[in-house]
Amino acid sequence: EIPYQTLSNGVHIPQIGLGVFRVNDAQTVIDSIKTAVNTGYRHIDTASFYGNEAAVGDGVRQSGLDRKDLFVTSKVWNNIRGYQATIDQFNTTLAKLKFDYLDLYLIHWPAEGYEENWRAMEDLYRAGKIRAIGVSNFEPQQIEHLMETATIQPMIDQVETHPYLQQTKLREYLSINNILHEAWSPLGGGKNQVLTDPVIADIAFAHQLTAAQVILRWHIQRGTIALPKSTHTTRIAENIHVFDEALTDQEMTKIAGLDTGARVGSDPTDAAFLKRSTTYDNQNHN
Ligand code: A2P
């Protein structure tokens, strides 16, 4: 059994989920999901922007699990503006997945006009089409702005988080407001050196774990929901075997000391990026 966190509406979310960003080949997506389910995953994180929702749906069906035993997330992309467009993209997402509901739907980035996306998501949630709704890449001020017109508070904020970008201030805000924290690029996305960091390596050696397992264990102990991405069988399996061994307080403190604030992805406070992103309709335009 994978440990879970409980959202503000009582829904349970498994604390490790398989990320599939930049997994473009449909068969690779399907194989990764089958491997993940076989090794114990019950949670998959996709997005319309990733362009692989149809393959994710096929992977889920081929995994042999009941739909209700898997937690599946998707996200509305930044080119979708307004109430009706959001409803339409959600319905397209469901049609691609061939699902009749989604577990979690997120606003992918705080691009201008996100209040209207949220209004549509609230209605989809009330209609029982989505079990939980939330945001991604939102800073506290953007959540505050959303709450001026929202009637339902976001249940999740999914942001870039790894030992070099620990999101300490944001986490404090989320915790006070009963919003759960999800980590994208929990291992640094293959774009920094965190997997070969000497501090992580020492801790890994002491526990006979891999560096990836130490980092994921660190996320778990902070109460974060981590979404590691891999297409390799051994890594997919390795990344979910993080529940037996606990890091000590001293080790957690050592990792806390690694925070430099260095991002590997886009900056949610970069207005030019947010504006540009509304003209992309899938990742190939990135
Ligand atoms: P690959 O997909 O080739 O296995 P993140 O989860 O932070 O987005 O990081 C994903 C990156 O880290 C990918 O490049 C992935 O490569 C790699 N990765 C995922 N799991 C592991 C692991 N257990 N050990 C080493 N590298 C990993």
Question: What are the pLDDT digits (tens) for 118-166?
Answer: 999 999 999 999 999 999 999 999 999 999 999 999 999 999 999 999 9
Report, as residue numbers or ranges, the catalytic residues.
Answer: 50
pLDDT at residue number 33: 98
Mutating to test ligand 1, I would choose from 16, 22, 184, 230 the residue with most ligand atoms within 8 A of its C-beta, which is 230
The closest residue, in CA terms, to atom 16 on ligand 1 is 230
- Percent with pLDDT over 70 in the chain: 99
Mutating to test ligand 1, I would choose from 232, 233, 263 the residue with most ligand atoms within 8 A of its C-beta, which is 232
Q: Which residues are annotated as a binding site for substrate?
A: 108
Buried b (16+ CB within 10 A) or exposed e, 269-282: eeeeebeebbeeee
Q: Express each pLDDT in 48-59 by its tens digit.
A: 999 999 999 999
pLDDT band at 284 (very low <50, low <70, confident <90, very high): low
d(CA 3, CA 129): 25
Domains in the chain, start-ordered, CATH in brackets?
Answer: 4-285 (3.20.20.100)
- Percent with pLDDT over 90 in the chain: 97
